[in-house]
Chains A and B, each alone.
Chain A
Amino acid sequence: MAEDPQRNFRSAYYEKVGFRGVEEKKSLEILLKDNPLDVEKLCTFSQRFPLPSMYRIHVWKVQLGILPPHSDSHSLVMGYRREQYRDILEALKAIRVVHAATPQVEVYLRMFQLEAQELSRSSELAPPGEDDENFLSIAKSMEEIVEDPVDCYWLIKCFVTQFNNKFGDTVPHLPKSLEHYLNMEDSRLLTHLKSCGALTKLPYDPWFWRCFSGCLPESSLQRVWDKVISGSCKILVFVAVEILLSYKNKLMGMKRLEGILQFLANMPQENTDAIVTKAIDLWHKHCGTPVHLV
């Protein structure tokens, strides 16, 4: 893609001056013009560069397999998807699992459960429990990002499924990885956290299992998810490390475990963009500019 002869000769300077995304958009467009879309290339691209928001949903869908690589069949497949969504929704309505007042997120959850054959009978239907929190949280964030409910449902479903399938085994090891990288970056903070006993009690669930949904505002979150969807869950560790580093001073000031947890649970939402940028830089630094990363 970089060898494209039509590429703007200024492109070399854009990056130097800091205009990221000018060339990337073009490259992405070139990528998306391929008829059978090369999913691998798309993954590599989105790992390496930030996605332009106008293509984000489309790219995600392709990456998650909601849309097939052949653009010709996109409309057809999308029709299927839509019909499937409608069918399931209707069925749920029919069995009265959902009704008009049910929050959309729960609707997604029920649909997901239905598809996973986990839906209990409507008479025994319990309100969403602890186990569904991860899904609900992700769904909520996704709902913010995506407008169309069909797209949204599909994205949620595929994201969760892919995440669980792909990284289900890796996620339990992420805290150790966090400790490792935090030690490399700032051992003092690490020892402080250790001394407070906070290291084991950090909010790993919302961070790793929910991919920071609920922790970060969606604008920042989608950039993290770009990376997750394109196949790297390591980025979660670096976002976590960067969060700790960013609030290092405050954390160092706190001695009590509860205070730290409290603070991390209600993290300030101001400069999350910067945190995410730094985290991505950090990730690139430690894992190299990715070609294929797990």
Chain B
Amino acid sequence: MAREQPHMGDLLPLLESSDLHQVEEVKDLIRDHLNQDRGAVLVNGLVDYYLETGSTEAMHFLSSVREPHDKHLLDKMNECMASRACRLHTLTLLGHVVRKEPSWIHKIARFPLLLSLLKCLKTDTDVVVLITGVLVLIILLPMIPQPGKQQLYEFFDIFGRLAAWNLKNSGRVTEVYLVHLHASVYSLFHRLYGMYPCNFVSYLRSHYSMKENMDTFEEVVKPMLEHVRIHPELVTGTQDHELDPTRWKRYEIHDIVIECAKVSLDPKEASCEEGYSSAPEHFSAPQPLRHLDCGSSPYADFHSSCGSSSSTLFSTPRQAMTSLSGMQPPYRSPQGSRHQIGELNNSCGLKDPFWTPASVCGMTTPPPSRGISPTGIAESTRSSSNFPGRIHGTLGSSKGMPSFSTPVTATPPPTLSDVFSNASRSSGTSSPPRKDNRSLEYLKPGLVRQEPISELERSHMEAVETGDNSSDNIPMTLTELSSFVEEQQSAEQEEDALMQELLKITEDPPQLPSQWGLDSPFCHTTETLTGSQAPGPVALGLSLSHECHAEATSGTDRPEGAPDLFTPIDCPVPNQQSPPAPEDEAEAPNKAVICFPSPCGAATPSYEALFDLALPKAAPHFVRRRTSEALRRAGAEEGEEAGPGPSVGPPTPPSPLEVLDRLVQQGKDAHDKALKRLPLLSKSADWTHFGAGSAPLDELHTLRSQLLLLHNQLLYERYKREQHAVRNRRLLRRIIKATALEEQNSAMKDQLNLQNMDILSLKESLQVEQQRYHQLWEDREAVVTRLHSQIRQLQQGRDEYYTKNQELQSKLLECQKMTGKLEAELQKANNVVCNMGHQLSQLSIKLTTSESMQQQMAFLNKQLLLLGEVNKLCMEELQHSGTDTSKEQQMMLASSDKELERLRLSLVTQAQHLEAAQQRIGELEAHLTKKEHLVVEQKKFLEDVKAQAKGELQASESRYQAQRRVTQALQTELLQLYSRLEVESPATGGGPVPAGGTVQPHSLSVPRMDGDHTSLPGSKVKTAPQDRVDVNSPAATPHRGNISTLLPLPTPGSVNGGGGCPLAWVEPPPPWGSPGAPSPVSSCPTSGSFLDMRAQELLRCKSEGPWDGDPRRLAGLSQGLKTEMCVDPLRPAWGPHTREARPDVLRANSRDGPISGPGSARQRKQELRIMDYDETHHEHS
């Protein structure tokens, strides 16, 4: 690399080599190197080289560097910006780079280069640098649409500074620069206003509200404001919203440019497109007004005796045509087309839509004619109002309305009349119809208003003076026109013709003024057609059309140079002789024009006009100076040239771009003139000749920088054009899309139609179906009605049947009732018959009985008779024997009476006996029941006692059991001890026999032990039951002789009573079989008290086994208890007594006699009775 670096540096100069091949090689080399190398060296070298030489190749390279190098490039340029010397070049380079729109351009906002650019713009005093910088900035702005607020205000500050520049530095800087600068500032104004309306307006408000800035505002900013519409953002947007980065997101650069252009009213700055294309249409209505305004504007017309604006130009031919319409129909179209072409060239087809129809329909309607650039005209009027004529302007505009009707309706007649009138007033030539209008209108306000009139008249007078000049020219113009048209009709040799014209113009200076109207269009058409350029005397590398024209004396065709798309439509022709012709509204031919302001005296007035336009305030001063100069020079050089005094400030349309155009134009014209006038002079001579104002070097420098500026301007415009081109491409794409959609639409429509057809056919079929349905429906209806009628008939029949039926049923009911009645009657009759039968039978019975009774009666009667006879007989007998029997009878009666009496007495006594006996029986029965109650109570009590005794017995039983267990335990213990003893002394006792002796003391000891529990050993001997028990085991008796002998009376019952119960203590025989041993052991349990023994026995008797043994014993026991209870129930504690009583009883029972006595006998008797009772009771129960 390092090795190659110098090599590359060396290569750079070779770029300018004349050897094309070599250049190509070097280019390739550099390109490769740029692709490979990421270092900054080559870029820096290129920049340096460019700054040194201004090499286009280097510029190409630099403007197309790619991503990695952008930083180096920008840094390098930033460095270069620092030095004052190369600042201009750097800016130019930057302009190139920026216009190239590299992909990385958005990054520039972050680089210090932008800051230094802004700083330079804010501080630098070199106008050229400033203009270049501003242009760069304007181009750059849409590329970095999201500046910070600070940056934005820096932009605004720059604008403020540059806007004020013109005024502040008007004395110091060459005026030409100011025009350029003004144009740039104007563009900047548009850009800023278009992009940041709110911020910008607020800036303007704050900045120009200060008093010291008021002048600037009035002079510079206000006219600019007149060229813009109100920005919609001012209504809807806010300052912050404008700075919102998202706002520009979906915009491309050209979109932004167009956005800015949309708000512009200046046709040179703006472009109309899309929504805004309608704007001119909006204007179409007021157009006539404006046109008339313009026309009526005293300044516009009076000062520029001929309409120099394109609009007026057009109106001129139109009116001319209208006046000449009858005469020259063919003339129109070429003229129209001509203009059309001109306009096309002019504003990029901007006015096409207006012009095409106008020309097509023969320009019969006034509005289109005026539609060229309403803004321009408006501006012209407006700007004209800046000057003293302002009032008139406003007046004129205000009177536009009334005046409008008249010219429109009656344009031709007044024209003609006015022509004559004007002609009479002027030099007798036909005056331009425009003028008529104007005069008409002028007259009207004049009539209406008194005050303005004075002024108006004054100006009018001036206008008339100027009009003399122009009116002189006008016929010429017309003739020229016609002649030209004829020429045009030949059509081929246009260029030649134009050249001839030009030649004519140039060769015929005095005629120039008269030819201006036609001249200019031709001029520019020529240019357009030829696209012409000729190398100017000052070779700036750019074609200079006007110069070419000027130099066209050579008659050579201009070789094609720079693209000349923007050609001036209207050759402005503010001829040398007419400085107050600033109304020239020709399109800005952004051409590099060489002006010779100072050397060319003729040019000066034009400048004055320009400055009047651009800088109304500064202008007078400048103009005055210039005028004097010009007058001086003009007087010296050509008397004719002296135009009307420039003192009359041209109140003109002041788009700075137009001014620039005009400047260029004038420069050209001036140059032409100068060249014409001094064709033979050499350049140097030229300079010297004109060198009155300034040194040639100085001039050269100025010219050079001017050229540079123009170049910049050109580049700027070209850039704009490219943006437009991009936009156009997009629009075209949209159109294509739209057409596609339209086709799709039509296809859809076709489909729709088809479907409509289908629908129609379907509808028809539907109708048919409906009809069929209707028919069917009707048929059905008919059937239904028929059926209904049938049903009705049937129902009627049915109803009839019903009624008949009901009648029959009622009849039936009646019949049934009848039968019922009859039946009842029948029944009754039957009953009656039955009754009768019954009665009959009864009667028959009665009859028989009565018959029998009669028989009996008869019999009884017979008997009665017999008895009567007997009675008679008896009576007779009685009478015979009555007294003998009566005494006997009386005696018998008396005796029987007595007997009866006695019997009665005996009956009474018997009854008394009976009563007594019955009473006795009752008593006895009560006694009996008492007894029974007692018995029941006794039984209950007995149960009670039994239970109690049972409880007690249970307790004692358990105790007894316990005793047995204890004894058992003791016995086992004892036995154990025995066994141990035996084991311990085996030697003492050899066998069981001698053991008996040894046992003896033990048997003795046992009772002793028992004696603790029981009462006495002796008592045991006395107890009879115990003895009896013992006796039960007969085997044991012989062994226990001592005990058994104690028994005095072995009762047989006791043997039975023993049962098997005492087995418990009899059974356990000693295993060792000693006969003596069991007896003491068996006697142990018996050692309890006597009472216990009794209790046990009793218990045993009751609980165990069948009761075989002596029933009397128990009976005796219970009887004993009972008697005790009965006899002495009050004795509560009977336990001990019973215990005592029981033995007695037992003893009495068992011994059966030893105890004898009356008590015992009675006792026994009672006992028997109770027992009997008991038995009977048992039987009962």
Q: Which residues of A contact B (CB under 8 A)?
A: 36, 65, 68-70, 72-73, 76-77, 80-81, 83-84, 87-88, 91-92, 94-95, 114-115, 117, 119, 121-123
Most chain A beta-carbon contacts within 10 A, residue among B944, B959, B976, B1013: B959
16 contacts between A and B (CB under 8 A): A36-B947, A65-B954, A68-B951, A69-B947, A69-B951, A76-B955, A76-B1135, A80-B956, A87-B959, A87-B966, A88-B962, A91-B967, A95-B973, A115-B962, A122-B976, A123-B976
Most chain A beta-carbon contacts within 10 A, residue among B958, B963, B967: B958
User: Complex Cα distance A176/B821, Å?
Assistant: 87
Residues of the A chain whose Cβ atoms lie less than 8 Å from the Cβ of B846? none
Residues of the A chain whose Cβ atoms lie less than 8 Å from the Cβ of B962? 84, 87-88, 114-115
Q: Is the CB of B961 within 8 A of A115?
A: yes
Q: Is the CB of B959 within 8 A of A81?
A: yes
Residues of the B chain whose Cβ atoms lie less than 8 Å from the Cβ of A77? 951-952, 955
Residues of the B chain whose Cβ atoms lie less than 8 Å from the Cβ of A69? 947, 951
Given contacts A68-B955, A73-B951, A87 and B976 within 8 Å (CB-CB) = no
| A-contacting residues, B943-995, CB 8 Å | 944, 947-948, 950-952, 954-956, 958-959, 961-963, 965-970, 972-973, 976
Residue from B948, B969, B1135 within 8 A of A68 (CB atoms) = B948
Given contacts A114-B965, A117-B965, A84 and B958 within 8 Å (CB-CB) = yes
User: Complex Cα distance A65/B951, Å?
Assistant: 9
Given contacts A70-B948, A72-B948, A81-B959, A87 and B1013 within 8 Å (CB-CB) = yes
Q: Is the CB of B970 within 8 A of A121?
A: no
Most chain A beta-carbon contacts within 10 A, residue among B948, B950, B967, B1013: B948
Q: Is the CB of B948 within 8 A of A117?
A: no
CB distance from B332 to the nearest CB of A (A): 115
* Closest B residue by C-beta to A72: B948
Residues of the A chain whose Cβ atoms lie less than 8 Å from the Cβ of B963? 84, 87
Residue from A65, A80, A114, A121 within 8 A of B966 (CB atoms) = A114
Residues of the A chain whose Cβ atoms lie less than 8 Å from the Cβ of B955? 68, 73, 76-77, 80-81
Residue from B950, B951, B954, B969 within 8 A of A114 (CB atoms) = B969
Most chain B beta-carbon contacts within 10 A, residue among A36, A91, A114: A91
9 nearest A-B pairs in the assembled complex, by CB-CB distance: A68-B951, A91-B966, A95-B973, A84-B959, A77-B955, A70-B948, A80-B955, A84-B962, A80-B959
User: Complex Cα distance A119/B965, Å?
Assistant: 10
- Name 10 extra pairs, CB < 8 A, besides A68-B952, A91-B966: A65-B954, A68-B955, A69-B947, A70-B951, A81-B959, A87-B966, A91-B967, A95-B969, A114-B965, A121-B973
Q: Is the CB of B966 within 8 A of A70?
A: no
Residues of the B chain whose Cβ atoms lie less than 8 Å from the Cβ of A123? 976
CB distance from B466 to the nearest CB of A (A): 123
* Closest B residue by C-beta to A94: B970
Please classify the interface of chain B as helix (H, G, I), strand (E, B), loop, or mixed, using the class held by over half of its residues: helix
Residues of the B chain whose Cβ atoms lie less than 8 Å from the Cβ of A94? 970, 973
* Closest B residue by C-beta to A68: B951
Residues of the B chain whose Cβ atoms lie less than 8 Å from the Cβ of A73? 948, 951-952, 955
Residues of the A chain whose Cβ atoms lie less than 8 Å from the Cβ of B970? 91, 94-95
CB distance from B742 to the nearest CB of A (A): 83
CB distance from A102 to the nearest CB of B (A): 16
Per-position binary interface string of chain B over residues 922-948, scored 1 when its CB falls under 8 Å from any chain A CB and 0 otherwise: 000000000000000000000010011
Residues of the A chain whose Cβ atoms lie less than 8 Å from the Cβ of B966? 87-88, 91, 114
* Closest A residue by C-beta to B1132: A72
Residues of the B chain whose Cβ atoms lie less than 8 Å from the Cβ of A87? 959, 962-963, 966, 1013
* Closest B residue by C-beta to A76: B952
Q: Inter-chain contact count A-B, CB under 8 Å?
A: 74
User: Complex Cα distance A72/B967, Å?
Assistant: 30
CB distance from A218 to the nearest CB of B (A): 27
Residue from A76, A84, A122 within 8 A of B973 (CB atoms) = A122
CB distance from B974 to the nearest CB of A (A): 9
User: Complex Cα distance A243/B1045, Å?
Assistant: 71
Residues of the A chain whose Cβ atoms lie less than 8 Å from the Cβ of B961? 115
Residues of the A chain whose Cβ atoms lie less than 8 Å from the Cβ of B968? 117
Most chain B beta-carbon contacts within 10 A, residue among A65, A81, A84, A94: A84
User: Complex Cα distance A84/B967, Å?
Assistant: 12
CB distance from B1099 to the nearest CB of A (A): 13
Given contacts A83-B959, A84-B962, A91-B969, A121 and B952 within 8 Å (CB-CB) = no
Residues of the A chain whose Cβ atoms lie less than 8 Å from the Cβ of B967? 91
User: Complex Cα distance A123/B965, Å?
Assistant: 18
Residues of the B chain whose Cβ atoms lie less than 8 Å from the Cβ of A114? 962, 965-966, 969
User: Complex Cα distance A76/B1095, Å?
Assistant: 14
* Closest A residue by C-beta to B957: A80
Residues of the A chain whose Cβ atoms lie less than 8 Å from the Cβ of B950? 68
Q: Is the CB of B959 within 8 A of A70?
A: no
User: Complex Cα distance A138/B955, Å?
Assistant: 23
CB distance from A124 to the nearest CB of B (A): 9
User: Complex Cα distance A73/B955, Å?
Assistant: 10
Given contacts A36-B944, A73-B948, A80-B959, A88 and B954 within 8 Å (CB-CB) = no
Residues of the A chain whose Cβ atoms lie less than 8 Å from the Cβ of B972? 121
Residues of the B chain whose Cβ atoms lie less than 8 Å from the Cβ of A121? 972-973, 976
CB distance from B940 to the nearest CB of A (A): 11
CB distance from A183 to the nearest CB of B (A): 44
User: Complex Cα distance A117/B963, Å?
Assistant: 12
User: Complex Cα distance A72/B959, Å?
Assistant: 19
* Closest B residue by C-beta to A120: B972
CB distance from B1136 to the nearest CB of A (A): 12
CB distance from A269 to the nearest CB of B (A): 36
Residues of the B chain whose Cβ atoms lie less than 8 Å from the Cβ of A65? 954
Per-position binary interface string of chain B over residues 1001-1020, scored 1 when its CB falls under 8 Å from any chain A CB and 0 otherwise: 00000000000010000000
Residues of the A chain whose Cβ atoms lie less than 8 Å from the Cβ of B1013? 87
CB distance from B1002 to the nearest CB of A (A): 15
CB distance from A150 to the nearest CB of B (A): 12
User: Complex Cα distance A92/B966, Å?
Assistant: 8
User: Complex Cα distance A189/B73, Å?
Assistant: 90
CB distance from B1125 to the nearest CB of A (A): 15
Most chain A beta-carbon contacts within 10 A, residue among B950, B963, B965: B965
* Closest A residue by C-beta to B949: A73
* Closest B residue by C-beta to A97: B969
Residues of the B chain whose Cβ atoms lie less than 8 Å from the Cβ of A117? 965, 968
Most chain A beta-carbon contacts within 10 A, residue among B962, B968, B970: B962
User: Complex Cα distance A87/B359, Å?
Assistant: 163
CB distance from B371 to the nearest CB of A (A): 101
User: Complex Cα distance A114/B965, Å?
Assistant: 6
Given contacts A36-B947, A88-B965, A68 and B973 within 8 Å (CB-CB) = no
CB distance from B1008 to the nearest CB of A (A): 13
Residues of the B chain whose Cβ atoms lie less than 8 Å from the Cβ of A76? 952, 955, 1135
User: Complex Cα distance A88/B967, Å?
Assistant: 9
User: Complex Cα distance A68/B949, Å?
Assistant: 10
Residues of the B chain whose Cβ atoms lie less than 8 Å from the Cβ of A68? 947-948, 950-952, 954-955
User: Complex Cα distance A155/B981, Å?
Assistant: 40
User: Complex Cα distance A84/B959, Å?
Assistant: 5
Residues of the B chain whose Cβ atoms lie less than 8 Å from the Cβ of A88? 962, 965-966
User: Complex Cα distance A76/B1136, Å?
Assistant: 13
Q: Is the CB of B947 within 8 A of A70?
A: yes
Residues of the B chain whose Cβ atoms lie less than 8 Å from the Cβ of A122? 973, 976
CB distance from B655 to the nearest CB of A (A): 100
User: Complex Cα distance A68/B966, Å?
Assistant: 24
* Closest A residue by C-beta to B952: A73
User: Complex Cα distance A36/B947, Å?
Assistant: 9
CB distance from B954 to the nearest CB of A (A): 7
User: Complex Cα distance A68/B973, Å?
Assistant: 34
Given contacts A70-B948, A73-B948, A119 and B959 within 8 Å (CB-CB) = no
* Closest A residue by C-beta to B943: A36
Residue from A70, A83, A119 within 8 A of B944 (CB atoms) = A70
Residues of the B chain whose Cβ atoms lie less than 8 Å from the Cβ of A72? 948
* Closest A residue by C-beta to B966: A91
User: Complex Cα distance A122/B976, Å?
Assistant: 10
